[in-house]
Amino acid sequence: MHGVLLVSISSIFDDTRKYAEHLIAELDRDDIPVSLLVAPHIDGNWHLAKDHRMQHWLRDHAEAGRTLILNGFDQAVQGRRAEFANLEAHEARLRLKGATRQMAKIGFEPTIFAAPRWRMSPGTLEVLPEFEFQLACSSHGLHELPSGRLHQTRNLSFGEGFGAAKWWRRNIIRAAERSAQRGNTVRLSVSARNLEDRKVRADFLRAVDKAAAAGARPESYSIFL
């Protein structure tokens, strides 16, 4: 029995878009779908609503069938903590309301939510259905919101609060291959902030290749909708 391979890129904004583009091109050549995690605000001074070039870029990808995933509201407030990791339902509702309204104003209405750094509080999970999300992605797995079903599968990340040191990258490559050999779903993600380093990009591609060669079927997150 084979599982699926889910690949995603986060922290895509004006400073990192070109690095994401390079990785996407390489994955496309190998027929590996890649989902894009997007947020309205990043680093305090970048706003998707003001970056028309980025909007156009995302729209082109969406129209081509690329899966877009809402990745929080204001990543600038994270500091050392993930934005939705510890929120009660009330505060999570306010942040989700702000995020979905701002995204809708510029023409994006994602139905998949991934908490920044994949850390999602119970309160966040509780209120997501109010905003018509169909799938939530966390460190615990993939939550089908209409049915309440949980697909338990951990995320393997470069960056995103998990680091990208050489020893960590080696561990991720081995873990991805072993998980695929067992027939499990393999989730691989990378922060575009780390893709400037060619060694990081090469090792991420190696993890993807190892998982696919071990039998994991490449898909996008939308397969769970």
Half-sphere exposure (Cβ direction) of 67: Cα atoms closer than 13 Å: 23
Q: Where are the domains of the chain?
A: 4-224
pTM assigned to the model? 0.96
Q: Which two tokens stand for residue 146?
A: 């209409």
CATH fold of 4-224, please? Answer: TIM Barrel (3.20.20)
Residues sharing a CB contact under 8 Å with residue 70, sequence separation 6 or more, in sequence order: 37, 38, 39, 99, 100, 103, 110, 112, 113, 114, 133
What pLDDT, in 10s, does the model give residues 159-205? 988 889 999 999 999 999 999 999 999 999 999 999 999 999 999 99
Residue 77's pLDDT is 47
What pLDDT, in 10s, does the model give residues 77-92? 455 568 999 999 999 9
Which parts of the chain are beta strand (E)? 4-10, 35-38, 41-42, 46-47, 68-70, 112-114, 135-137, 141-144, 149-152, 155-158, 186-191, 217-219
Give one word for 161, left, alpha or beta, with left for phi > 0 and alpha for psi -120 to 50: left
What pLDDT, in 10s, does the model give residues 113-171? 999 999 999 999 999 999 999 999 999 999 999 999 999 999 999 998 888 999 999 99
Give one word for 2, left, alpha or beta, with left for phi > 0 and alpha for psi -120 to 50: beta
